[in-house]
Amino acid sequence: NAGVTQTPKFQVLKTGQSMTLQCAQDMNHNSMYWYRQDPGMGLRLIYYSASEGTTDKGEVPNGYNVSRLNKREFSLRLESAAPSQTSVYFCASSATPRDTQYFGPGTRLTVL
Amino acid sequence: QQPVQSPQAVILREGEDAVINCSSSKALYSVHWYRQKHGEAPVFLMILLKGGEQKGHEKISASFNEKKQQSSLYLTASQLSYSGTYFCGTDPPGGGADGLTFGKGTHLIIQP
């Protein structure tokens, strides 16, 4: 039982490049989330998926897109990376939106 | 709306006690507490539900004052392993598809 997994763990991009962050959970959770964490800012919600087949914007969605591929997988795409997107990205899942969230190990992204 | 945590940071000697507070401007159904060690993902500690039910960690306790819309996390006889950043996540009575709303965190440093 791996919980929530994320790939890659580290990534360096040049401005304008694109990439997709992958997230998968094996807990049969309905809800999944993408956060970014910057020093002093706490966890800020980028996008979420309350259930399979639905996605919606969170607090800071600009510059990102998501895909809920199936119940297990929720990916985050940066179409044209900018230095302001340098951050640590966490994926999380929960049984329902009201339940405890379980976090993946994070992806440390640097955009030059 | 984001809950407010206090203090922002605290430094203790091993064996001392600490209290971390989480306040919301909205009514709360539940409060979730997490701890994040440097370079790692947030890890669930405890959930407090409206009505007084508490679930979670053995050696750390918490309270939930529904009238004041506040929760406090109590760490007694602190150990070096308690160091990290503590986040509260709040859930309003009506719930929301976007899950919990997290505070900015309280940094706890335990010195030998």
DSSP assignment of A57-107 equals E-S--TTEEEEE-SSSBEEEEESS--GGG-EEEEEEEESSTTSPPEE---E
Question: Which residues of chain B neighbour A102 with C-beta distances below 8 Å?
Answer: 44
B51: Cα within 13 Å, side-chain hemisphere: 5
CB-CB neighbors (< 8 A) of B97 in chain A: 31, 48, 50, 54, 56, 97
The pLDDT mean for chain B works out to 89
What is the pLDDT, as a whole number, of residue B1?
79
Q: pLDDT tens for residues A74-97?
A: 999 999 999 999 999 999 999 998
Residue A39, pLDDT score: 86
Label residue B81 by pLDDT band (50, 70, 90).
very high
- Cβ-defined contact of A43 to B102 (cutoff 8 Å): yes
CB contact under 8 A, A100 and B44: yes
Q: Is A53 helix (H, G, I), strand (E, B) or coil?
A: coil
Q: What is the pLDDT of residue A65?
A: 97
CB contact under 8 A, A97 and B89: no
Residue A59 to chain B, least CA–CA distance (Å): 10
**Residue linked to tokens 């929760």:** B71
User: What percent of chain A has a predicted confidence (pLDDT) above 70?
Assistant: 100
Which pLDDT tens digit goes with each residue over B42-79? 999 988 987 666 666 667 889 898 888 999 999 988 99
- Cis bond before residue A8 (omega within 30° of 0): yes
Q: Contacts of residue A106 in chain B, CB cutoff 8 Å?
A: 40-41
The confidence band for B91, taking pLDDT boundaries of 50, 70 and 90, is confident
